[in-house]
Amino acid sequence: MINIPSTLKISLRALRVNKMRSALTMLGIVIGVGAVIAMLAVGEGASQKIADQIASIGSNLLIILPGSTSSGGVRMGSGTQTTLTMGDTDAILRECPAVADVAPEHGGVAQIVYGNQNWSTGIRGTTPNMLNVREWQLSSGRPFTGQEVKSGAKVCLLGQIVVDNLFGDIDPTGQVVRIKKVPFIVIGVLAPKGQSLTGQDQDDTIFVPITAAQKQLFGTQFPGMVRLIHVKAKSAEDLDAAEKQITELLRQRHRIGSKQENDFTVRNLTQLMQTQEESSKVMALLLGAIASVSLIVGGIGIMNIMLVSVTERTREIGIRMAVGARTWDIRLQFIIEALTLSLIGGVIGIIIGVGGSKILSAFAEWPTIISPFYVVLAFCFSGLVGIFFGFYPAYKASLLDPIDALRFE
Amino acid sequence: MPLIDTNEITKIYQLGDISVKALCAVSFSIENGEFIAIMGPSGSGKSTFMNILGCLDKPTSGRYLLEGTDVGSLGRDELAAIRNKKIGFVFQGFNLLSRTSALENVELPMLYNGVTAKERRQMAMSALKSVGLEGREHHYPNQLSGGQQQRVAVARALVNNAPIILADEPTGNLDTKTSAEIMGLFTKLNAESNITIILITHEPDIAEYSKRIIKFRDGCIVTDEANKKIRVKDND
C-alpha cells in the first residue's frame, strides 16, 4: 500500500528545489534520446529511399543483356554482342516456370519533334508487357495493343519529362510527334517514377512498339533482334530460380557448349538493391546503437546525481523512517525521482530529435522518417534507464540505519 | 498488561575489536498513561535505551514487549509500521523537513499508512490546532520560532493517535519560557488524552514535570522513583 501520488509529489518537489542540477542531469538523457531518434530517422529515411527506388524499377526484376563481342582478343563491353532475339523472349515466358512476365527492348537515342519543339531521349521499342514488368502505370491514354506490336503501328507512350519539354500544358494524347522524322501518334503518357538508383531520370523516355523500333527507327542486324530483355520473376524467392532457368534455356537456345562462356548476362537488379537496403538498415541500427551509448552515459549522470542527493538528504530519510516509512516507500521515492528526470528528459529529447531530423531533412535534404515505434521505444528506453540507474541510489537510501540517518549532519 | 515491558535488555556496540556495553540488563515496565523522565549523564545509555523503546534499534539480548508484541522478532518494515502507529517522536533538533510547510510536515506520518489526502489534511489541521499553531499551517520551518517548530514536531507525533510519545531532549534547544510551554503541552496531552510520554532530559527542572523519574548511569538504571513534587505549571 504505497502512496504513489504523494510519493510523486515529494519527488517533484525535490527536483524543483535543485532546478539547475535537475536540468543538467536531464540534459544527458535529452541528448541521448534526441540522438537516438535523429539517427534512426536518418537511417530509416535512407532505407526508405532505397526501398522506393526498388519499387520504382519494378519488383523482382531481372535484366538479360547480350554478351560482349571480342575481335582479335579485344573484348568489347557488355551488350555489344547482339545475340538476344524475340524468340528468346517468347521462349523465356513459355518455358521458365519461375518467370511471371517478359518484355523485350530494342531502341536507342533519337530526336523527337513536336511543332517547333524538339527533344532528344531514349526510345524504347517494347511490347505492352513492359508496363507490367516494370510496374509502370499510365497517367493518361492507353497502352499499345498486341495487334499494334505485330503490325508495327506508329504509336507511342511518352514519359513525363518528354511531355513537359515538348508539350508544356497541352494534352499530348492524340497529337502527332516525329521521331527520327517518322510521324508517331501519342496514345498515352507514362506515370512519373522519378530517379533511378543511379540518378537517371526514368521519366525521360518514350515507349514505341518494338516492331516499329526495329523496322522504322533503329534497324536490326538480323530480324527479331532485341537489345535486352526485362524479366519479372513470380516472387522475390523465385528470383534465383528464374535466373537459373533463364541461363539454362538461353545456353540451350544459343547452342553454347559446356566449356564455353555465356553470350549473355543475367542481372538481378532487385537483389542488388535489397542488399543496399539491408546495409543501410544495418547502418541505421549501428548509428542508433552508438547514440544509445550516450543515453546510457546520461543514465550514469542520473545515478551520480541521485547518489549525491541521497547523501544530502540522509537526515530527511532518517526522519521519514522514524515516522514510519518502509523500505519500499523510500526506494520508490528515489526511483520515481530518477524516473521523472529521465522521462522528462526523454520527452524533451523526443522533441529535439524530431525537430532535429526535420531540420536535417530541410537543410541537408536528407530524407528522414520518424517512425512512431522508435519514438515510443526511445521513450520507454529512457524510462528504463531512469529505473535502472535510479535503483542503486534508492536501494542505498532504503538501507540506511534510521538512527545514523537522524544524527547525520 | 503493561504498555511497555522490557526484560534484561542489553545493547553491545562492536567498535573494531572492542565491544562497548551501552545497556546492561535493563528491566522495567511502563503502564499506559505514565509520564516518565529519563535522566543521566552523557554516555549513560539513556539514548540507546530510547532508540530501542522507539523501535529504531534492536537490543543485543533481552526481550522488549510493546503492547504484548515481542518487538525483537520483527523485521525492518514491521518496525516501521509500529513506529508509524504506536510511537510519536519529538527530537531535540526538531527534525522537520525544510522547504515543507508545517501542515505537510504533520501530514508526513500519514503518507505511510494509507490515509486519504483529504483525511490527512483534516487530521493535520486539527493536530496543529491542538498544539496552538492554528493559522501557521502554511509556514515553512524557517519562518517559525524554535518553540513553534517544536510544536509542529509534537503535532506530527500526535497526528496518528499514537499511544506513546518519545521525546529526546525536546527542550534542549529552547529557552526557559518556551521550554515551559512545550512541557505544559506534554502535561496537557498526558492528562487530557492519556498519552504515555517518555522524555529524556539533562535538566532537573524539566524532569519535574513528569510523574516518574528514571536515572541511568553506565548503562544501568540507578534510581526509578515517582516524582513527589510534580510541577504542573511554570511558576512564573
ipTM of predicted complex: 0.93
Beta pairing class for B196-200 and B164-168: parallel
Dihedral sign of CA atoms A112, A118, A120, A122 in order? negative
Residues 6+ apart with CB under 8 A from A209: A125, A126, A127, A144, A148, A149, A152, A153, A155
Position A43 scores a pLDDT of 85
Residues 6+ apart with CB under 8 A from A157: A138, A141, A143, A144, A186, A187, A188, A189, A190, A206, A207, A208
Angstrom distance (rounded) from CA B191 to CA A268: 98
Nearest-neighbour CA in chain A from B1: distance (Å) = 25
pLDDT digits (tens, 9 = 90+) for A132-171: 888 888 888 898 888 888 888 899 999 988 888 888 888 8
More confident residue, A298 or A409: A298
Mean pLDDT of A23-45: 90
Whether B74 has its CB under 8 Å from any CB of chain A: the answer is no
Position A276 scores a pLDDT of 79
Using a CB-CB distance cutoff of 8 angstroms, which residues of chain B are in contact with residue A10?
Answer: 111
Angstrom distance (rounded) from CA A135 to CA A61: 10
Residue to test with chain A: of B56, B77, B123, most A Cβ within 10 A: B56
Among residues A200, A216, A232, the one where a domain terminates is: A232
Same domain for A226 and A312, yes or no, is no
| A369 domain residue, yes or no | yes
Angstrom distance (rounded) from CA A372 to CA B113: 41
Nearest-neighbour CA in chain A from B180: distance (Å) = 25
Amino acid at B27: S
From residue B77, give the alpha-carbon distance in Å to each of A120, A325, A327, B50, B124: 87, 8, 6, 19, 24
Position A68 scores a pLDDT of 67
Domains and CATH numbers, chain B: 34-44+75-226 (3.40.50.300)
CA–centroid distance for B11 within its chain: 20
CA-nearest residue of chain B to A315?
A: B95
Contact (CB<8Å) B95/A17: no
| A72 domain residue, yes or no | no
Residues 6+ apart with CB under 8 A from A332: A2, A4, A7, A394
Question: Which of B144, B105, B100 has its CA nearest to residue A12?
Answer: B100
Contact (CB<8Å) A3/B112: yes
Q: What length is written for chain A?
A: 409
Angstrom distance (rounded) from CA B140 to CA B117: 20
Angstrom distance (rounded) from CA A14 to CA A390: 14
Question: Which of A327, A325, A323 has its CA nearest to residue B160?
Answer: A323
| A89 domain residue, yes or no | no
Question: Which of A162, A153, A92 has its CA nearest to residue A128?
Answer: A153
DSSP 8-state assignment for residue A7: H
| Tens digit of pLDDT at every position of chain B (236 positions) | 889 999 999 999 888 888 888 888 889 899 999 999 999 988 888 888 999 999 998 899 999 999 988 998 899 999 999 999 999 999 988 999 988 899 999 999 998 888 888 999 999 999 999 999 999 999 999 999 999 999 999 999 999 899 999 999 999 889 999 999 999 999 999 999 999 999 999 889 899 999 999 999 988 999 998 888 777 655 44
> 556495553: which residue's cell?
B21
The yes-or-no verdict on residue A306 having pLDDT over 80 is: yes
Angstrom distance (rounded) from CA A125 to CA A105: 5
Using CB atoms, which residue from B77, B99, B156 is nearest to A323? Answer: B156
Angstrom distance (rounded) from CA A180 to CA B156: 101
Q: Where are the alpha helices (DSSP H) in B131-166?
A: 146-158
Using CB atoms, which residue from B51, B80, B100 is nearest to A321? Answer: B80
More confident residue, B197 or A408: B197
Mean pLDDT of A41-62: 80
Q: Where are the alpha helices (DSSP H) in B97-175?
A: 102-111, 117-130, 146-158
Question: Which of B24, B5, B23 has its CA nearest to residue B64?
Answer: B5
Same domain for A29 and A128, yes or no, is no
Among residues A232, A253, A283, the one where a domain terminates is: A232
How many CB atoms neighbour CB B109 within 10 A? 29
The three-point CA angle B65-B71-B75 to 5° equals 170
Nearest-neighbour CA in chain B from A407: distance (Å) = 10
- What's the domain range around A108? 99-232
Q: Count CA atoms closer than 13 A to A7's CA, side-chain side.
A: 22
Structurally, chain A folds into a number of domains equal to: 2
Q: What length is written for chain B?
A: 236
Instruction: With beta carbons less than 8 A apart as the criterion, state whether A98 and A263 touch.
Output: no
Whether B84 has its CB under 8 Å from any CB of chain A: the answer is yes
Phi and psi, residue B85, nearest 5°: -95, -30
pTM: 0.73
Same domain for A207 and A302, yes or no, is no
More confident residue, A166 or A81: A166
Residues 6+ apart with CB under 8 A from A12: A340
Residues 6+ apart with CB under 8 A from A161: A121, A201, A203, A204, A205
Same domain for A36 and A124, yes or no, is no
Beta pairing class for A228-233 and A99-114: antiparallel
| Cell (9 digits) for A41 | 530517422
Same domain for A122 and A17, yes or no, is no
Mean pLDDT of A68-97: 75
Q: Classify residue A9 as exposed, middle or buried by CB count within 10 Å of its CB (0-12, 13-18, 19+).
A: middle
Nearest-neighbour CA in chain B from A347: distance (Å) = 28
Same domain for A299 and A403, yes or no, is yes
| A345 domain residue, yes or no | yes
Whether B156 has its CB under 8 Å from any CB of chain A: the answer is yes
Q: Helix (H, G, I), strand (E, B), or coil: what is residue A168? A: coil
| A315 domain residue, yes or no | yes
Contact (CB<8Å) B80/A326: yes
| A75 domain residue, yes or no | no
The yes-or-no verdict on residue A341 having pLDDT over 70 is: yes
Mean pLDDT of A214-234: 86
Mean pLDDT of A115-129: 89
Whether B45 has its CB under 8 Å from any CB of chain A: the answer is no
Virtual torsion, Cα A15, A18, A24, A30, nearest 10 deg: 20
Position B235 scores a pLDDT of 46
| A243 domain residue, yes or no | no
DSSP 8-state assignment for residue B143: G
Using a CB-CB distance cutoff of 8 angstroms, which residues of chain A are in contact with residue B57?
Answer: 403
Same domain for A300 and A380, yes or no, is yes
Q: Identify any residues that bridge with A266 across adjacent strands, giving them in sequence order.
A: A64
Same domain for A49 and A139, yes or no, is no
Position B236 scores a pLDDT of 43
DSSP 8-state assignment for residue A400: S
Using CB atoms, which residue from B80, B89, B95 is nearest to A325? Answer: B80
Instruction: With beta carbons less than 8 A apart as the criterion, state whether B191 and B161 touch.
Output: no
Mean pLDDT of A191-206: 79
Contact (CB<8Å) A326/B76: yes
| A41 domain residue, yes or no | yes
Residues 6+ apart with CB under 8 A from A127: A103, A104, A146, A149, A209, A210
Whether B114 has its CB under 8 Å from any CB of chain A: the answer is yes
